[in-house]
A and B are shown apart, each in its own frame.
Chain A
Amino acid sequence: MAAVFPTQANRRRHGGSGVWVGLAVLTAALALIPVLTIAITAASDTGTLWSHVIAYVLPQAVQNTAILLAGTGIIATCVGTGAAWIVSAYDFRGRGVLEWALLLPLAVPTYIMAYAYLDVLSPLGPVQGVIRAILGYDSPRDFRLPDIRSMWGAILIFGFVLYPYVYLTTRAMFLTQAANLIEVSRTLGVRRSTVFWRVALPLARPAIAVGVSLALMEALNDVGAAQFLGIRTLTASVYTTWIIRTDLPGAAQIAMAMLVFVVTLIVVERWARRDQRFAHSAQRARPMDPQRLTGARGLLALALGALPIVIGFLGPALYLLFEAIERIEFAGLSPYLVRATLNTVSLSAVATLVVLFMGFAVAYAARLRPDRLTGAMARIATLGYAVPGTVLAIGILIPVAFIDRTLDHAMREWFGISTGLLLLGSGAALVYAYAARFLAIASGGIEAGLSRIPMSYDHAARTLGQTATGALVRVHLPLSRAALTAAGLLVFVDCMKELPATLLLRPLNFESLSTLLYGEAARGTYEDAALAALIIIAIGILPVILLARTGRRTPGANAHQG
Chain B
Amino acid sequence: MTTLKRFAVASLFALTAASPALAQEVNIYTTREPGLIQPILEAFTEETGIAVNTVFLQDGLAERVAAEGESSPADILMTVDFGVLSDLVDRGLTQPVESEVLEAAIPEVLRDADGNWFALSGRARVLYAAKDLDLDTFTYEQLDDEEWRGRLCIRSGHHPYNTALFAAYIAHHGEDAALQWLEGIKANQARVAAGGDRDGARDIAAGICDISIGNSYYVGLMASGAGGDEQKAWSDEIKVILPTFENGGTQVNISGAGVAAHAPNREEAVQLLEYLVSDEAQKLYAEANFEYPVTGTAEAHPIIAAFGELEPDSIPLGDIVQYRTLASELVDRVNFDTFEN
Contacts and interface: CB of A to CB of B under 8 A. Distances in A.
B10 A422 contact: yes
A123 B208 CA distance: 8
A140 interface: yes
24 contacts: A23-B1, A30-B2, A52-B329, A60-B335, A118-B195, A124-B234, A140-B206, A144-B207, A149-B191, A150-B339, A230-B194, A230-B195, A244-B160, A244-B325, A343-B16, A350-B12, A397-B63, A425-B73, A426-B14, A428-B13, A509-B18, A519-B34, A524-B197, A524-B227
Contacts of B195: 118, 149, 227-228, 230
Given A149-B195, A428-B13, A523 B57 contact: no
B207 A139 contact: yes
B332 interface: yes
A420 B9 contact: no
Contacts of A124: 202, 205-206, 230, 234
A26 B35 CA distance: 41
B279 to A, nearest CB: 24
B68 A149 contact: no
B192 A150 contact: yes
Nearest to A418: B71
| B interface bracket (residues with beta carbon within 8 Å of A) | 35 or more
Determine which residue in A398, A409, A509, A527 has the highest number of CB atoms from chain B within 10 A of its CB, and name it: A509
Given A230-B156, A354-B2, A520-B33, A397 B69 contact: no
A313 interface: no
Determine which residue in A227, A422, A524 has the highest number of CB atoms from chain B within 10 A of its CB, and name it: A524
B64 A397 contact: yes
A147 B332 contact: no
Interface string A336-364: 00000011001100100110011000000
Contacts of A122: 202, 206
A405 B324 contact: no
Contacts of A427: 9-10, 12-13, 17
Contacts of B56: 503, 515, 519, 522
A495 B153 CA distance: 36
A330 B338 contact: no
Contacts of B325: 244-247
A444 B293 CA distance: 55
Contacts of B11: 426
Contacts of A428: 6, 9-10, 13
Contacts of B160: 243-244
B152 interface: no
Given A357-B5, A507-B17, A330 B191 contact: no
A390 interface: yes
A149 B206 CA distance: 14
A120 to B, nearest CB: 12
Nearest to A390: B59
A415 interface: no
Contacts of B218: 524
A357 B33 CA distance: 36
Contacts of B60: 390, 393-394, 397, 504
Interface in B77-108: 83, 87
Interface string B16-29: 11100000000100
A463 interface: no
A504 B59 contact: yes
B177 interface: no
Given A56-B332, A243-B59, A508 B27 contact: yes
Interface string A213-248: 000000000000001111010001001101111111
Q: Is chain A's binding surface mostly helix, strand, loop or mixed?
A: helix
B193 interface: yes
A524 B53 CA distance: 23
B229 to A, nearest CB: 8
A504 B64 contact: yes
Interface string A420-456: 1111111110011000000000000000000000000
A452 B112 CA distance: 66
Contacts of A457: none
Per CB-CB distance, the 10 closest pairs between chain A and chain B, nearest first, are A230-B194, A141-B207, A230-B192, A401-B67, A427-B13, A123-B206, A426-B10, A408-B71, A508-B53, A56-B332
Contacts of A278: none
A404 interface: yes
Interface of B: 1-2, 5-6, 9-14, 16-18, 27, 33-36, 53-60, 62-64, 67-73, 83, 87, 156, 158, 160, 163, 191-198, 202, 205-208, 218, 221, 226-228, 230, 234, 324-325, 328-329, 332-333, 335, 337-339
Contacts of A506: 55
A504 B57 contact: yes
Contact of A246 (B87, B191, B234): B87
Determine which residue in A64, A124, A239, A506 has the highest number of CB atoms from chain B within 10 A of its CB, and name it: A124
A393 B68 CA distance: 14
Contacts of B71: 404-405, 408-409, 418, 420-421
Nearest to B289: A523
Contacts of A150: 192, 339
Contacts of B34: 519
Contact of A404 (B17, B68, B230): B68
A309 to B, nearest CB: 27
Interface in A119-145: 122-124, 139-141, 144
A232 B10 contact: no
Contacts of B6: 354, 423, 428, 431-432
A152 interface: no
Given A122-B206, A431-B9, A524 B16 contact: no
Nearest to A149: B192
A359 to B, nearest CB: 12
B161 to A, nearest CB: 11
Contacts of A421: 68, 71-73
Contact of A405 (B63, B68, B197): B68
B17 A524 contact: no
A510 interface: yes
A509 B51 CA distance: 11
Interface in A513-541: 515, 518-520, 522-525, 527
A402 interface: yes
Given A246-B87, A426-B10, A508-B27, A520 B156 contact: no
A514 to B, nearest CB: 12
A242 B59 contact: yes
A326 interface: yes
A523 B198 CA distance: 10
A369 interface: no
Contact of A426 (B2, B9, B59): B9
A57 interface: yes
A327 interface: yes
Interface string A293-331: 000000000000000000000000000000000110010
Given A390-B59, A401-B67, A508-B73, A353 B5 contact: yes
B328 A245 contact: yes
A424 B68 contact: yes
B280 to A, nearest CB: 22
A523 B221 CA distance: 10
A509 B53 contact: yes
B68 A358 contact: no
A77 to B, nearest CB: 27
A323 to B, nearest CB: 9
B237 to A, nearest CB: 10
Contacts of B58: 503, 518, 522
A486 to B, nearest CB: 21
Interface in A25-68: 26-27, 30, 52, 56-57, 60, 64
Interface string A61-104: 00010000000000000000000000000000000000000000
A552 to B, nearest CB: 31
A503 B17 CA distance: 16
B67 A397 contact: yes
A36 to B, nearest CB: 16
